[in-house]
Amino acid sequence: MRSLLFFCCFILSAAVHAQTVVSGVIRDHRNKPLPGASITLKDTYDGAVSDSTGAFHFTTTEKGNLVCSITCMGFKTIEQPVSLTGTAITLNISLKEQLDELRAVTVTAGAFSTGARKGAVMSSLDVATTAGSNADITAALKTLPGTQQVGEQEGLFVRGGAGYETKQFIDGTMVNNFYNTSVPDIAQRGRFSPFLFKGTVFSTGGYSALYGQALSSVLLLESIDVPEKSEIDLSVSPLFWGVSTQQVAKDKKSSWGINYSYVNVGLYFKLVKQTPDYYSMPRYHNVEGNFRIKTKRGGIIKYYTTFGYNELGLRRPDIDSLYLKNAFGLTNHNWYNNLSYKEYLNNGWKLNMGVGYSTNRDDISQQIQDASNQPKQFDNSAFWMQYKNFRFVNRQDLTQTKIVLEKKLGGLSALRFGTDYWYSYNNGYYNDTLRKLDDHYNALYAESDIFLTNDLAATVGARYEHSSIIGKSDIAPRASLAYKTGKNAQVSVAYGEFYQKPENMQLYYTRQLGFTRAAHYIVNYLKMNNSRTLRVEAYYKKYHDLVKAVPVNYYYSTYDNSGTGYARGFELFWRDKKSVKNLDYWISYSYVDTKRNYLNYTTELQPNYAATHTASVVLKRFFTSIKCGFNFTYTYATGRPYYNFMLNNGKYNLADQGKTKDYNTLNFSMEYVPSIGKANAKSNIVLFASANNILGNKLIYGYNYSYSGLIKQPITPPANRGYFIGCFISWGVDRTDDVINNNL
């Protein structure tokens, strides 16, 4: 018996004393030594951490068959069975890299993303504080490379593409009337405030197969989720006033909001002389509503609606006569709705759904008036004057659905596929002639992100589209590849085919048209950390099947797809928030060589909206001591070409051409935020003031020609300088500080 006890004690002490030495070297997937990896005998305290040479060493008193696990952040854990007998064990192990969203390369060719997420170039606040933008998204984006400084028309003119070649999407669905209705020679603002959005992707080419019907560019806007806190906001300015509220449920799972604003520039136009004679001051009423609901599984349902009504009327001297005037009047109704649903499903599936409905009605009238503003009629002998008198009442409806399913395929790779259906209905009364269009547009698409390693990723996709009105289909392949060349640096390439339906104004005249087409080839280098971004991009774009006008007579043309064109160029972008303390600045430069033969062009010509060189410098500095921020934007562009095409014997000929003088503007804005620093401020006040073109440079966007071709008049902004002043107050209910103070 005693011997048994003794035996037990012996075993126990033997167990205590028999030590096993475990040592080895840990390496990464490239066979480089990996420091900081943790080696653990599972369920024991024993183990070690690899040193700077990847080596480790420890002793253990454990015995028997155990599992040794090797872990390191960013690498896949390895579990290695070991048999501990007292004999030294050597473990030389290579760890495989784990694909990691934060460290992995992202495909960036062609795209600028904004917002708080990775790869962001601008935030929503940047949009508001870019001098010259006056919180218009499009104006702020025009400080990025690839865009043209077009001031006589709304839209983003990207890389040799016209404004209508850029399409805007909110939460995945296309927006039909993103801008207020066009007024001749005056660019209109976008309808949507930058503060509606948490993120923006501005793609200047080579974009994803999830989007279509844009030859040049897409602007993808993602609306904000449930806000942090409830608030009431008030905006006051000599130009407008607005009131809104946002109510967040106690559990922060849902919210709703409404907003009303009224703009009337009458007072401003009295103070700041405008070149046109506004007989009806521009007035805008706008009502918005929204709700957002977070779902149990982490998804979200968002609804946004806006109803806008505006009217304006202006008169300018008529170019064809000395004493007559040309009066333009507009009344617009616009109702926009967007419902989106994002949900996480089982087994790594994700659903993105969107439904949109919008209707827009423009009532446009143009009238030639005499010196006492009375309408003037013409007969056939002055047909070029006769056709200046018209009324056009146009209605555009768009109903659409989008469904995208996404599946994670291990690591970061993913497969996405989906379908779009758009039903557009248009009817336009031109004087008393009714023209109707309706189109069923269907698209099917699939796209896959393939991560070969953390450093090499590809996105490959294709899009099938069919439009019933032209009875044509197309298949658009898209591909991009990104390779990480160093810490924070990467090279991407992208290729894609892009199709776009002809414009409605052309389809009103003929449906014997096909899709217009562009191929994009892009190479991009990006080096970016939190405070600095360097981006260099070069591209080549080839246009096919652009719409050409086939004149029938002075006022009537039909169209075909015989147009061609190209654009090639390179762009630089540099942003730096670090080198000068508290100063944030960016510099953009774009070079474009582009020509196209479209519409009434006689041959391949540089389009009248394209300047060869464009550069912008944006500076922002906030002084915390005086609670003021000052922002400057300087933009330079070389002159743009202008043409006068005259109809002669059923053919256009180039009667005159020239180049405008260079474009130069310096814009300034400042904000004063007195409530900064008041820990318990119940209200937040921002005073904002801006002045555009403070040096008063004469800006000329192009020239209009008289019917005879003998008179040309410069197209200029309605006023040389622009000013804005406003006060924004919000009363928020934020309980963060209360809790802390109650505990003090």
Partner 1 sequence: MKKVLVAFSILLSFAASAQTDKFAAAMQKNLDALEAAKTPADLQGVSASFERIAEAEKTQWLPYYYAALAQERIGFSDKDADKDKIGDKANQLLDKAEAIEKNAELYCLRNMAATIQMLVDPQSRWQTYGQQAQAALQSGMQLEPNNPRLYYLQGMSVFGTPEAFGGGKEKAKPIFQKAVDLYASFTPKPMYPNWGSKEAADMLAKCE
* 581 binding partner 1? (CB under 8 A): no
Q: Amino acid letter at 691?
A: A
* 53 binding partner 1? (CB under 8 A): no
In the complex, the smallest distance separating the C-beta of residue 171 from partner 1, rounded to whole angstroms, is: 21
Name the residue nearer to partner 1 (CB basis): 33 or 238: 33
* 649 binding partner 1? (CB under 8 A): no
> Which residue(s) pair with 325 in the sheet?
317, 369
Name the residue nearer to partner 1 (CB basis): 172 or 411: 411
Q: Between 673 and 692, how does the x/- string for binding to partner 1 read (CB under 8 A)? A: ---xxxx-------------
In the complex, the smallest distance separating the C-beta of residue 684 from partner 1, rounded to whole angstroms, is: 12
* 530 binding partner 1? (CB under 8 A): yes
Dihedral through CA 544, CA 546, CA 551, CA 554, nearest 10?
-150
Sign of CA dihedral 671, 672, 678, 680: negative
* 57 binding partner 1? (CB under 8 A): no
Strands (E), 132-174: 166-170, 173-174
Query: In this chain, which stretch among 4-12, 143-151, 551-559, 642-650 interacts with partner 1, using CB under 8 A?
Result: 4-12
Tell me how far apart the alpha carbons of residues 253 and 270 are, in angstroms, rounded to a whole number: 47
Q: Between 73 and 102, how does the x/- string for binding to partner 1 read (CB under 8 A)? A: xx---------------------------x
Tell me how far apart the alpha carbons of residues 72 and 210 are, in angstroms, rounded to a whole number: 37
Q: Which two tokens stand for residue 451?
A: 């991560």
List 32, 42, 96, 436, residue binding partner 1 (CB under 8 A): 42
* 593 binding partner 1? (CB under 8 A): no
Best CA proximity match to 590, nearest among 141, 288, 74, 187: 141
One-character DSSP codes across 403-464? EEEEEE-STT-EEEEEEEEEEEEEEEEETTEEEEEEEEEEEEEEEEEEEEETTEEEEEEEEE
Tell me how far apart the alpha carbons of residues 246 and 732 are, in angstroms, rounded to a whole number: 9
* 625 binding partner 1? (CB under 8 A): yes
Name the residue nearer to partner 1 (CB basis): 164 or 585: 585
Residue 2 · residue 8 · CB < 8 Å: no
- Within 189-248, the residues that bind partner 1 by CB under 8 A are 228
What DSSP designation does 639 have?
A: -
In the complex, the smallest distance separating the C-beta of residue 530 from partner 1, rounded to whole angstroms, is: 4
Tell me how far apart the alpha carbons of residues 143 and 517 are, in angstroms, rounded to a whole number: 27
φ, ψ (nearest 5 deg) of residue 438: -140, 145
Name the residue nearer to partner 1 (CB basis): 43 or 251: 43
Q: What is the largest CA-CA distance in the chain?
A: 133
Dihedral through CA 369, CA 370, CA 375, CA 376, nearest 10?
-100
Return the HEC string of 318-367: CCCCCCCEEEEEEEEEEEEEEEEEEEECHHHEEEEEEEEEEEEEEEEEEE
* 380 binding partner 1? (CB under 8 A): no
Name the residue nearer to partner 1 (CB basis): 322 or 739: 739
Q: Which residue has the tokens 């191929």?
A: 519
The number of CA neighbours under 13 Å toward the Cβ of 50 is 27
For residue 188, the SS3 value is: coil
* Number of shown-chain residues binding partner 1 (CB under 8 A): 42
Return the HEC string of 546-580: EEEEEEEECCEEEEEEEEEEEEEEEEEEEEECCCC
For residue 507, the SS3 value is: helix
Residue 451 · residue 409 · CB < 8 Å: no
Name the residue nearer to partner 1 (CB basis): 33 or 74: 74
* 471 binding partner 1? (CB under 8 A): no
* 51 binding partner 1? (CB under 8 A): yes
* 47 binding partner 1? (CB under 8 A): yes
Name the residue nearer to partner 1 (CB basis): 13 or 562: 13
Name the residue nearer to partner 1 (CB basis): 13 or 602: 13
Query: In this chain, which stretch among 39-47, 293-301, 474-482, 631-639 interacts with partner 1, using CB under 8 A?
Result: 39-47
List 22, 25, 34, 48, residue binding partner 1 (CB under 8 A): 48
* 36 binding partner 1? (CB under 8 A): yes
Tell me how far apart the alpha carbons of residues 562 and 516 are, in angstroms, rounded to a whole number: 10
In the complex, the smallest distance separating the C-beta of residue 437 from partner 1, rounded to whole angstroms, is: 46
* 271 binding partner 1? (CB under 8 A): no
In the complex, the smallest distance separating the C-beta of residue 569 from partner 1, rounded to whole angstroms, is: 30
Tell me how far apart the alpha carbons of residues 205 and 498 are, in angstroms, rounded to a whole number: 9
* 52 binding partner 1? (CB under 8 A): yes
List 24, 26, 46, 541, residue binding partner 1 (CB under 8 A): 46
The residue length of the chain stands at: 744
Name the residue nearer to partner 1 (CB basis): 438 or 737: 737
Measured CA distances, 190 to 138, 179, 308, 373, 670 (Å): 7, 4, 12, 32, 22
Query: In this chain, which stretch among 41-49, 89-97, 172-180, 314-322 interacts with partner 1, using CB under 8 A?
Result: 41-49
In the complex, the smallest distance separating the C-beta of residue 24 from partner 1, rounded to whole angstroms, is: 16
Name the residue nearer to partner 1 (CB basis): 5 or 271: 5
In the complex, the smallest distance separating the C-beta of residue 524 from partner 1, rounded to whole angstroms, is: 23
* 739 binding partner 1? (CB under 8 A): yes
For residue 230, the SS3 value is: strand
Name the residue nearer to partner 1 (CB basis): 333 or 627: 627
List 23, 29, 33, 49, residue binding partner 1 (CB under 8 A): 49
Name the residue nearer to partner 1 (CB basis): 553 or 680: 680
Tell me how far apart the alpha carbons of residues 475 and 493 are, in angstroms, rounded to a whole number: 21
Query: In this chain, which stretch among 46-54, 173-181, 315-323, 638-646 interacts with partner 1, using CB under 8 A?
Result: 46-54
List 13, 83, 473, 531, residue binding partner 1 (CB under 8 A): 531
Name the residue nearer to partner 1 (CB basis): 112 or 207: 112
Q: Over the Cα atoms of the chain, what is R_g? A: 32
Query: In this chain, which stretch among 33-41, 242-250, 258-266, 635-643 interacts with partner 1, using CB under 8 A?
Result: 33-41
List 8, 249, 475, 583, residue binding partner 1 (CB under 8 A): 8
- Within 99-118, the residues that bind partner 1 by CB under 8 A are 102, 116
Write out the residues near partner 1 by the rule CB under 8 A. 1, 4-5, 8, 12, 35-36, 38, 40-49, 51-52, 73-74, 102, 116, 120, 123, 228, 530-531, 577, 624-625, 627, 676-679, 736, 739-740, 743-744
